[in-house]
Structure 1
């Protein structure tokens, strides 16, 4: 609830400043920049409050299916940008071809309303249920809700993509209708709290054996470490680097995708970005479920990170060739790798460092990987190489050399991350009940 209020406040300030309800005309440029930066900090703090608590709660309450539940939540996170945008397009009559249309500034107002609706309002209706009569009954009830959640998420994804693809060729009424459908789908997870989804028996549940998240690989629950103690361990650094590379590779792609396609005289970046969004969202769901499958076989979720790195490696290897067709293939592969990182980070951090301080521990990974990945993979590396191959007096670079060295460097970094996570996996399964 606190996180939602902070985000609501930040977005409302952004909106009020942008449409000049709050007039900053007497302030110099530096003062305005500082004020907007403070708003961004408030927005980030609100997001961190929500993110840390949501995933810590999910892991603690669904120990046997933490991967699936976290993956489902991360799938929704992956779609939220498209969802907000298409709801805004459906209700605000902006000129889709004119990015300078002043009505676009009202997106911050819509985002503020969405934030408060998705946090403050539901928090007033949270119920604490009595524990189920047996583990089998509890697991069966969770499985029913997760499957229904998958269905709702799939419907939302299809609706968002459909709205984005046809927004230039249909009437305003159609877009508004799709926006109404998205709002209904957005609110529909409330039915997951319906008692009618409960079952009377376990139905032969398949998750009735000890899992890593509950008792550790060798039968002992992993110790819970604070942030200070966590960052002193070798496992922290061995896992942080692969996460940073996966997330950085995805952020670098989305940041530079227009220039990547433009450099080879292709206009396919919009379609490619849509495919990337859909692929990484599906990957979030699948990776979370795969963590549970591996845990039932005594394997750590870090194995999924290794698989994600392989997809990222294949993706950037396709980019090195730098033809339009292989750019699309690379975008899809990189989307799988990028999406897989998000739910697995939550699960593996809980495996390695316990659940008591999971909210703070996870946010260290989330914050560091996102910030450093955005700066290094999204800005410093590609910007320097792109500018070096741009003709004097020009702002755009054309030719395969504009990004080729960037791709080669990232391929090398991904290979180093493969080595790092491989060492971590070996350490995890060697020490077994000691972590």
Structure 2
């Protein structure tokens, strides 16, 4: 069983890495938006699979294991060829397309939340589950319609450019004799060709300097403590042994560990505080939906503030860590009906941390080894969960339960599960988690200070230059004559 769990848990990591890292490399100038969207859909995946399972198999627990086994594998094989690195030229409408994806995902999240609440109050038939699953599939594949429309618009735009270029009476290049030599000059009324395009077409690629070639041959172990400038491509060892990575990793342990501890113990917390069973189910639903909202909100909002106002992304991480403390304190002191608010805050905080962490890693350490560094950042989650859930919360919960049994004069039987009731079951544990989250926020401030100069600069400058070079290369290669055609602003 441990082997099965190991394979199943790691299969999720493979799927996440392939899809997420590939999309970040394809859209490096919108990485916060991409991370928010993809991690948001991951947050909804459990609710989506649940609806599909009820529609296909009903309420058969054995079939659930089979369903979880074949569905992800079938989807991976079906869409395998779509996961690839491409030369993507940023279009003016790129963000609009991503916002359309966001609106569809919000509709999907809202629909799932309504369905979950309705299913808890009414008995659904197999046909009703089939109807809800069909609606989920429509909303899930609706972004494809937007993609098809955008691809069609781009194809029509290129076709229009080609027609205008072939029917135009203007010659791109005219030849005029000067001093007996033929010199190519652009026609006054032709499309302008910038100097970069001419340079790209004419100049031969320069040979790398000898020192640079020798530097590339130096062992990575010798350059561990000589990292490049932030934003350039770090080697794996340079990134892992950097102070920035240590600070980010430690802050992640403090933040993710605490919020994940609250989510994993939500059922026991509700029971110990005397909430009814239906309320506990509502808490789980609230955590799932707000987990999604935290992911997409952190991705989109941090990207907007970064590009428009040069607002450092690590500062958002600091704010989220402090915000999560409110939820922890509501649990610790059992504020009346506070668990409803706490489930919202903790779900949002847990979701918001992931796109921020992964975006910061990609920005500071580059994208060359992002696959490895992305998964290294994920390791902070089980470490934080083990320390704060098993060693702190579990230990204190068992200690309080044994104290209550001793006070009641009840002798615990061998193998009997411990049950604790009252505010003291989780009070001290969540006070400790709150202090840990505050300390993690203070540590993350160090990263904010260390990277403030980097985030004040143009973080995406390198990718903008690469995008322009790719656009020029495609134009030169596609036109056959080295003419750069600038797409007209249609719509």
**Farther-moved stretch of structure 1 (145-154 vs 272-281):** 145-154
Q: Are the counterparts in 1 of residues 26 and 86 from structure 2 also a CA contact under 8 Å?
A: no
CA separation in 2, counterparts of 1:71 and 1:434? 21
Give RMSD over aligned pairs.
Answer: 2.4
Instruction: Give the one of 440, 452, 455 matched to 1:429.
Output: 452
How do 1:373-412 and structure 2 match up within 5 A? 373-390=384-401, 391-392=404-405, 393=412, 395-412=418-435
Q: Does 1:75 align with 2:29?
A: no
Cα pair distance change 1:175/1:249, threshold 3 Å: same
Q: Are the counterparts in 1 of residues 30 and 303 from structure 2 also a CA contact under 8 Å?
A: yes
For the residue of structure 2 that corresponds to 1:86, the secondary structure is helix
TM-score, with normalisation over the residues of structure 2?
0.70
Aligned to 1:105: 62
How do 1:310-329 and structure 2 match up within 5 A? 310-329=322-341
CA separation in 2, counterparts of 1:190 and 1:196? 10
CA displacement at 1:68 relative to structure 2? 0.9
Aligned to 1:281: 292
For the residue of structure 1 that corresponds to 2:233, the secondary structure is coil
Q: Does 1:188 align with 2:142?
A: yes
CA displacement at 1:161 relative to structure 2? 1.8
Instruction: Give the one of 365, 373, 387 matched to 1:353.
Output: 365
Aligned to 1:337: 349
For the residue of structure 2 that corresponds to 1:194, the secondary structure is helix
Which structure 1 residue ranges, 5 or more long, are not aligned?
1-35, 95-102, 202-219
Aligned to 1:145: 97
Q: Are the counterparts in 2 of residues 159 and 178 from structure 1 also a CA contact under 8 Å?
A: no
Cα pair distance change 1:192/1:364, threshold 3 Å: farther
Which structure 2 residue ranges, 5 or more long, are not aligned?
159-228, 406-411, 460-491
Aligned to 1:53: 18
TM-score, with normalisation over the residues of structure 1?
0.79
Cα distance per residue 1:291-322 (max 9 Å; x no partner): 21222122321122112112111111222221
Cα pair distance change 1:124/1:353, threshold 3 Å: closer
Aligned to 2:243: 234
Aligned to 2:108: 156
Aligned to 1:179: 133
CA separation in 1, counterparts of 2:394 and 2:111? 35
Q: Are the counterparts in 2 of residues 314 and 330 from structure 1 also a CA contact under 8 Å?
A: yes
Q: Does 1:272 align with 2:272?
A: no
Aligned residues: 368
Q: Are the counterparts in 2 of residues 55 and 70 from structure 1 also a CA contact under 8 Å?
A: yes
Q: Does 1:119 align with 2:76?
A: yes
Instruction: Give the one of 312, 315, 336 matched to 1:300.
Output: 312
CA displacement at 1:53 relative to structure 2? 2.6
Cα pair distance change 1:130/1:302, threshold 3 Å: closer
Aligned to 2:175: none
CA separation in 2, counterparts of 1:124 and 1:185? 22
CA separation in 2, counterparts of 1:41 and 1:408? 33
Q: Are the counterparts in 1 of residues 287 and 347 from structure 2 also a CA contact under 8 Å?
A: yes
CA separation in 2, counterparts of 1:308 and 1:110? 36
For the residue of structure 2 that corresponds to 1:389, the secondary structure is helix
CA separation in 2, counterparts of 1:239 and 1:87? 37
Cα pair distance change 1:362/1:157, threshold 3 Å: same
